[in-house]
Structure 1
Amino acid sequence: MKVVSRFDKLVKDADGQAQWLFAILQSVHDGVLVIDDCEVVRLVNPEYTRITGVKENEIIGKRLRDVRPNALLPETLKDGKVRTGVYRKEGSNEYVVDMAPIVVHGQVIGAVSVCKGLTEVHKLTQELKRNKERLNELKRTVYSIYRATYTFAHIIGHNDKIKEMIRIAKRAAESDLPVLIMGESGTGKELFAQAIHQEGPRAEHPFVPVNCAAIPAALLESELFGYVEGSFTHAKKGGKIGLFELADGGTIFLDEIGDLPYDLQAKLLRVLQEKTIRKVGDTHERRIDVRIIAATNKDLRQLVAKQYFREDLFYRLHVITLHLPPLRERKEDIPLLAHSIIQASGGGGQRPVCSISQAAMALLQSYDWPGNIRELKNVIDYAICMTDGMEIDLHHLPPSIMKDPEVFRSSTSIQPLRKMLEETEKRLIVEALRQFGTDVQGKKQAAKELGVSLATLYNKLKKLGISEDLPSSAPNG
C-alpha cells in the first residue's frame, strides 16, 4: 500500500504548490523580497521585516521604488545580472543583500533579493576570522614542530665521495622527484634529507620525519594516513590527521623505509603514483602535495630479491639515489668533524676545550667507527666531559676506543700510561711510514696525515727509536 505524504496531498494542484512555497519562504531565516517584471513587490517574508524594518502592508502590491527610491533590485530586473554582498541601509537598519533575476522559459519574470542583517554578518565574519586565526596558529605550531634546521653548510668534509653526494643532493633539491638515501646508521641520512628540503622550494613548509622502524606495525598506517571518527575501537572523536597531511606542501622523510610492512608498501606506492591518501575507515581519497625522501641502512635490492620489499615501490623511490660513505672511508674528514663537534658543544661549558692532541687525533683516525659520525660525536662529548684542560688527550678518550683490539693488540695487562702512549704513538708512525714510504716525500705525507710537522716527525723517530728500514706499502715503494 502506497503511503501518501502531506506534501503529496498539498501540491497536487497549483494552489497547494503555492502554499508549500509560501510556507518555505516564511520559514527561511534570511530576509526575502520578490518583485515581478513590472517592479511590483509580490512577496516579503517576516525575516525581511525584522531586518529592514519595512512592514508587509507598507510594500506589498506597490512598485518597489515608490516605497524605497534607492532600491537596486530593479536594476537586476533590467540587466539580468546577479549582485552579491551589496551593503544597504534602511533608517538605522544595516544589512547585506544578494540579488538575482527570476527566469522562466528563458524570460525574466521578476527578481529576488535575499538579505542578512549586518550584525549577523559581522558575527559570521568574526567567527570566520577566529577560525582563520586558529587555523593559522595551528599551521604555525605544525611548522615550528616540523621544521628542518640543517642545510648543506652543516655537512662537513673534503672527502671526494661526500663532495659528490653533496653535488647530487643540491641538484635533487631543485626538483620534486623522490630521493632515496642509503648508508650505514650514523652517516648523516637525515642531515642530507633536511638540507635537500631547505634548499628547495618547499623550505617554508613542514619537514616531517618518520622512523618506520620505531612505530609498531599495527599503528603505522593510522599514523601515516590518519583515521576518521569511529573507524575502530578507541578512535578519537573527530578522527586524527595523519603525518602525510601534516606534511602537505612540504616534505615527508621516511627513515628506515626497509622496515615498512609489506601491506603498507602498496599504499605508499599509490601515494607516489596518484598523489592521494585515504584515511583509515574513510570512503574517499584526499589529494596531497608532498615530496617523499626515504632512507635506509639496508640493501633494498636484497630485500626485493627475498620479496620483503616491493620491486615496483623500489623503482618508484630509486629515482635519485645517494650512497653516503661510512666514516671509515673518509677518515681525512675526522679532524674537521671532531673540531666542529667541539665548537657545537660550546667547548664543554665551564671547561672550554680548544683542541685535540696529535696522539689523540691519530688514534681517532686509526679507529674504524662502526657507529660512524654519531659514534664520533659520542666519543668527543665523552672526552670533553673527562678533560680538565684546554686539550683532549689520549687518556680522555673512552675505554671503548682505548681497548679497541686494532689499536692495542698487545695490551693484555695494565701498563704505565706513558708507556702505553709511547707504544701507540710508535705504532701509528710505523704504520704511516709503511703506507707512504721512508723517503722525504713519504715522510712529508706521513707527517701530514699524522697532523704533525716534518721536524716533529724526525724528533719522534729519534726519540722512539724507530728504524727507517721498513717495508713500504706505498704505491712507489
Structure 2
Amino acid sequence: MPDMRITDIKVGEAMSREFGSVSRDTTLEEVINSMLANQWEEVVVVDQRHELVGLATREHLVRALSEGVPQNRPIAEICRREVITTSCYEELAKARDVMRWHKIGRLPVLDDEGGIVGLLTARDVCNGFSGKLEMLGRHMYAVMENITEAIQVVDCNGVVSFWNDAAEKLFGIKAEDIVGRKLAHFFPNDIILKVIVTGEPIRNVLCQVREGVLAIRNAVPVVTPDGETIGAVCTTQDVSTTKSLLEKLDQATSRVRRLEHRVKRSEEEIYEPFYTVNEVTKRILQQAKRVATTDATVLIQGESGTGKELLAHVIYRNSKRRHRPFVEVNCSAIPESLFESEMFGYDPGAFTGGKREGKPGKFELAHGGTLFLDEVGELPLEMQAKLLRVIQERRFYRVGGTTPIEVDVRLIAATNRDLHQLVAQNRFREDLFYRLNVVTFEIPPLHARKEDIPGLVDRFVKELGCLYERQVRGIARDALEVFLNYDWPGNVRQLHNVLESIIILMEDDYITLKSLAEAGVLETLTAGTKTRSPGIPKNVADLKDEGLDDVMVRTEKEIIVKALEDCHYNKTRAAELLGIPRSTLYYKLRSLGIAGITD
C-alpha cells in the first residue's frame, strides 16, 4: 500500500523527464527555431559532459532580440547562468517553497554526479500534489468502504459527507438517501452532532441503533491545524453478536466451573482405593494421606484386587511430588535377564537389539517423582540385591555406562505375598524388607467389608453404563443379595469384572437375577455363597437336646475365632472387623473361653 502522507512526495515523482536541451554553442536563432518547433517554454543549456550551464526561457529570448543581440550569438552568452537547482530525492513540498521564495517557475533536477535528469515546473508541482491527493482519496475511500465498522462523516453544519457500506447495513439507510442531507433529520440526538457543538470526543457509548441491534460508538471532531472544527467522524461497531457470544461464554464458563467442581470431586473419588464406608479402610485412607506429605517409603499389602495400586495413587496425588512423574513397575513381569536394563536403562551400543541412542530406565524416568514397585514380593533374590543397592546409595549406572547417575525418587511398594513368611523362608532379603517396611498399610479383602458392596455396585454400574453407552437404572434387591452373600475371592477387581460382563450382555435396563444368568455368572456367585456356619442347624428339629442359647454361644465363638484368623490374630484389627470395641472383644475372649488368645 502506498504512503498515505502527501508531504512525502519526492521531486523525482513529479518532474518532467522530457524537456528542451541545447548545447552551449547553439546560436540564438537555432534555439528560437527549436523552441517554436517543439513548443518549449524553456531550454536547458548543457556542456559536452551534459552538465548544466544555464537556463533560457522565452522571456530571455524576447529580451535578447529586443536589445538587438545578433542571432548568431551562442546561447551560453545569453542564458541565465546562475540557476537554482534541486535533487530528485528532495521533497516536492520543499522544492515548491523554494520556487515560491525565489519567484521562479522551474527548477532543473540534478543527479548525484551533477548531471541533469529532469525539469520541475510549477505545473509539475500542481500535478504531483493533485495526483497524490486523487490517489489518496481513492485509497481512503476503498479503506472506509471495506472496513467492518460503520463510518459516518459530517461537516461543521451536520451535513453528511460520507456514509460507508457498513453504515448502510447497520442503520438500514442507503448512502444516496443521506449523503448531502442533515444528519439531524434522521437522528436528532446523534452523538456526532454533540461533538460538532462541543469539539470534544465521545468514546465507547453502548446504544441500541435499531431493534435488536446493539453497538459501540466513538465520535471525534475533525480539527484543522488552526484549531477550527470543520466536521466530525463517528465509527459504530455492531456488538450484538459479541454480546451474545459473551453471554454464551458466561454460561459456558459457569458450566465449566460446575464441571470442574464435579470433575474434582470425581477425581477425588476415583483416586480413592475404593468407595468405602468401612471404618478400617477409611482409617487406612486417612493415614495414607498423612504419610503422603512425607517422603517415607510405603509398603502396601493386601490380596489381589483389593486396590493396592489405587492406594499408591492416593499417596502420590497427596504428596509434594504430585506434579512430577509417577512410574509403575510390575516386578513380576520383568524377566531376570532384562531387569537391569529396564530398571537402570542402558547406554548406546550396550547390547545387540537395543536402541541406538540408548534408553533411560525406570529410576531415571521417575527422578523427582514416585516409583511404584508392584508385586515386589515376586522379585528373585539377585534382583532384590541390585534394587537394594540403588535404594541405599541413591545412584546407579546404566548398563554399559561408566558415569554414575544420581536419583531422587519416593518409593511405594506393593505385594499380595506375606513378606514376613518369605523372609523366614529366605526367599526375600531381610535388609530389603526393612528398607521397604517403613510404613505399612494392609488393605482388607472385600469379604471383610461387605458393607461396601452396595456402594461399589452403584459406582461401577454408573461408570460401566457410561463406558458402554448403556442406560442402567440400578440393581434389583435379590440380585444385590447374591452379591452380598458371595465371598469375592478376587475382591473389588472381581466385582468390577462381573458387573462389566453383566452390563455388556444384559438386555434390560435393570440388573436382575435374569441379568446374572444371561451373563453366565449366577451359578458361580450362588455356588460360591458362604456356607452356613456348622454351628447352625438347618432345621429346628435338629437342635435335639441343645438349646437356642447354646447354639448362639457356639456360633458367636466361631465368628470371633474366624475374625482373629483373618486378622492374623491382631486383636485390634479383629475388633474393628467385628465392629465392637477392643475391650468388648477381650471380655468375650475370656467369657467364651477361647484358649490361647486371651493374653
TM-score normalised to the size of structure 2?
0.42
Q: Please tell me whether residue 312 in structure 1 is matched to residue 434 in structure 2.
A: no
Q: Please tell me whether residue 291 in structure 1 is matched to residue 423 in structure 2.
A: no
1:133-144 maps to which residues of 2 (within 5 A)? none
Residues 473 and 510 in structure 2, CA contact (< 8 A), matched pair in contact too:
yes
Q: Please tell me whether residue 402 in structure 1 is matched to residue 523 in structure 2.
A: yes
Matching residue within 415, 420, 423 for 1:301: 420
Matching residue within 386, 391, 396 for 1:267: 386
Superimposed CA distance per residue, residues 149-206 of structure 1 (whole angstroms, 9 cap, x where no aligned partner): 9865563101122112101111110110111000111000000001110111111111
**Per-residue deviation at 1:402?**
2.3
Secondary structure (helix, strand or coil) at the match of 1:254 reads strand
Matching residue within 385, 388, 395 for 2:507: 388
Paired amino acid for 1:345: L
Secondary structure (helix, strand or coil) at the match of 1:340 reads helix
Paired amino acid for 1:365: L
Residues 151 and 199 in structure 1, CA contact (< 8 A), matched pair in contact too:
no
Residues 468 and 504 in structure 2, CA contact (< 8 A), matched pair in contact too:
no
In 1, distance between residues paired with 2:321 and 2:392? 20
In 2, distance between residues paired with 1:174 and 1:256? 24
Q: Which has the higher contact order (CA 8 A, sep 6+)?
A: 1
**Per-residue deviation at 1:324?**
0.5
Relative to structure 1, the CA distance from residue 386 to residue 234 in structure 2 (aligned partners, 3 Å threshold; closer, same or farther) is closer
Paired amino acid for 1:287: E
Relative to structure 1, the CA distance from residue 183 to residue 237 in structure 2 (aligned partners, 3 Å threshold; closer, same or farther) is same
Q: Which residue of 1 aligns with 2:313?
A: 194
Relative to structure 1, the CA distance from residue 295 to residue 409 in structure 2 (aligned partners, 3 Å threshold; closer, same or farther) is closer
**Per-residue deviation at 1:251?**
0.5
Q: Which residue of 1 aligns with 2:303?
A: 184
Relative to structure 1, the CA distance from residue 203 to residue 237 in structure 2 (aligned partners, 3 Å threshold; closer, same or farther) is same
Q: Please tell me whether residue 341 in structure 1 is matched to residue 463 in structure 2.
A: no
In 2, distance between residues paired with 1:374 and 1:241? 32
Structure 1: any 5+ residue segments left out of the alignment?
A: 1-147, 411-425, 428-433, 439-474
Matching residue within 298, 315, 338 for 1:219: 338
Relative to structure 1, the CA distance from residue 217 to residue 262 in structure 2 (aligned partners, 3 Å threshold; closer, same or farther) is same
Residues 258 and 298 in structure 1, CA contact (< 8 A), matched pair in contact too:
yes
Superimposed CA distance per residue, residues 247-277 of structure 1 (whole angstroms, 9 cap, x where no aligned partner): 1111111100011121121222122222112
In 2, distance between residues paired with 1:408 and 1:259? 31
Q: Please tell me whether residue 373 in structure 1 is matched to residue 517 in structure 2.
A: no
User: Which stretch shows the higher mean deviation, 188-197 or 398-407?
Assistant: 398-407
Relative to structure 1, the CA distance from residue 329 to residue 235 in structure 2 (aligned partners, 3 Å threshold; closer, same or farther) is same
In 1, distance between residues paired with 2:522 and 2:416? 24
In 2, distance between residues paired with 1:349 and 1:205? 33
Superimposed CA distance per residue, residues 199-229 of structure 1 (whole angstroms, 9 cap, x where no aligned partner): 1111111111110111212112210100112
Q: Which residue of 2 aligns with 1:323?
A: 442
**Per-residue deviation at 1:369?**
0.5
Residues 206 and 251 in structure 1, CA contact (< 8 A), matched pair in contact too:
yes
In 1, distance between residues paired with 2:273 and 2:443? 15
Paired amino acid for 1:405: A
Q: Which residue of 2 aligns with 1:276?
A: 395
Secondary structure (helix, strand or coil) at the match of 1:345 reads helix
Q: Which residue of 2 aligns with 1:352?
A: 471
1:109-128 maps to which residues of 2 (within 5 A)? none
1:435-446 maps to which residues of 2 (within 5 A)? none
Q: Which residue of 2 aligns with 1:249?
A: 368
Residues 487 and 529 in structure 2, CA contact (< 8 A), matched pair in contact too:
no
In 1, distance between residues paired with 2:298 and 2:325? 17
Relative to structure 1, the CA distance from residue 338 to residue 312 in structure 2 (aligned partners, 3 Å threshold; closer, same or farther) is same
Paired amino acid for 1:185: S
Paired amino acid for 1:335: P
Give me the identity figure in percent.
47
In 2, distance between residues paired with 1:163 and 1:377? 20
TM-score normalised to the size of structure 1?
0.53
Residues 364 and 407 in structure 2, CA contact (< 8 A), matched pair in contact too:
yes
Q: Which residue of 1 aligns with 2:324?
A: 205
In 2, distance between residues paired with 1:247 and 1:350? 36
Residues 277 and 285 in structure 1, CA contact (< 8 A), matched pair in contact too:
yes
Q: Which residue of 2 aligns with 1:65?
A: none
In 1, distance between residues paired with 2:530 and 2:386? 51
**Per-residue deviation at 1:353?**
0.6
Paired amino acid for 1:254: L
**Per-residue deviation at 1:328?**
0.6
In 1, distance between residues paired with 2:391 and 2:268? 26
Residues 209 and 253 in structure 1, CA contact (< 8 A), matched pair in contact too:
yes
**Per-residue deviation at 1:231?**
2.4
Relative to structure 1, the CA distance from residue 360 to residue 165 in structure 2 (aligned partners, 3 Å threshold; closer, same or farther) is same
In 2, distance between residues paired with 1:181 and 1:203? 19
In 2, distance between residues paired with 1:159 and 1:236? 49
Matching residue within 168, 174, 186 for 2:293: 174
